[in-house]
Amino acid sequence: MRFAIFGDIHGNLEALEAVLAECSANNVDQYLCLGDIVGYGANPNECVERIREIGALAVSGNHDHAVIGAQNLNYFNAHARDAVIWTAKHLSQESKQWLKGLSLVEHLPDFNIVHGSLHSPELFYYVQTIKDADYNFRQMDRPLLFLGHSHYPLAFFDTAPMTYTLDPVIPLDLSVKTVVNAGSVGQPRDEDPRSCFVIYDDDSSLVELMRVEYDIESAARKILEVGLPQTLALRLTLGK
């Protein structure tokens, strides 16, 4: 099976369409979404509709949680808060209803998916260091965990000592617990503005980090046109 695993789409339809086209070209069998489908970008409804159309198994992110009123806005910085308020206003009842139905964690035979952290998923902790990853290793009842939230793609290994890699091709040893951050489709922050996601092939035990170009100008222009904070448009072009 080939799984496309992606998240942090953040209402960026141009980026999502580019990723889905790349998935089709790569013979993906199943789509898994790591949450934050909405927030920041100008097309939250369209992104929710596309995720539903492709039948992706999705988990809820902190932005998805916030726009349905399930997350305290004090946890967000000013621009994120403005985006949550704008998104909540423009999201259809149907989209909100669907977001409400998402779980925080989903379980597959040899991996889990979560937005922030398997350790207290409702608190949306970031997994950015080996120590953060270690909290997750202790919670894992499967060899693999895919997550997002930091918008920074990398993988951690529960070896002795624990290690991490930024390599785009990650051969897996299922006897070693591994946490993979799939980066962000709609708002990359690792100074590479291209959309980011992973393909996991369980036959070859390989995780591949994919980067895809998309129409950044159009996504940024729409952010400005609808009156979302200017900085949210600018950061797309910078990839940070």
Give 11 or 212: the residue with its C-beta nearer to Zn ion.
11
Give 22 or 36: the residue with its C-beta nearer to Zn ion.
36
What whole-number distance in Å separates Cα of residue 174 and Cα of residue 178? 8
Closest CA to 147 of 200, 86, 206, 221: 200
Region binding Zn ion by CB under 5 A among candidate stretches 14-22, 36-44, 80-88, 162-170: 36-44
What whole-number distance in Å separates Cα of residue 113 and Cα of residue 67? 21
Give 86 or 157: the residue with its C-beta nearer to Zn ion.
86
Give 8 or 17: the residue with its C-beta nearer to Zn ion.
8
Q: What is the footprint of Zn ion within residues 1-20 (CB under 5 A)?
A: 8
Among 22, 36, 190, 202, binds Zn ion (CB under 5 A): 36
Residue 55 CB, shortest distance to Zn ion, in Å, is 22
Region binding Zn ion by CB under 5 A among candidate stretches 34-42, 123-131, 136-144, 160-168: 34-42
Closest CA to 127 of 79, 77, 183: 183
Angle between the N-to-C axes of helices 13-25 and 216-225, in degrees from 0 to 180, rounded to the nearest 10: 150
The DSSP string of 151-191 is: ---EEEE--SS-EEE--SEEE--TTS-EEEE---SSS--SS
Region binding Zn ion by CB under 5 A among candidate stretches 31-39, 70-78, 82-90, 106-114: 31-39
202 binds Zn ion (CB under 5 A): no
Closest CA to 106 of 134, 142, 133: 142
Q: Which residues bind Zn ion (CB under 5 A)?
A: 8, 36
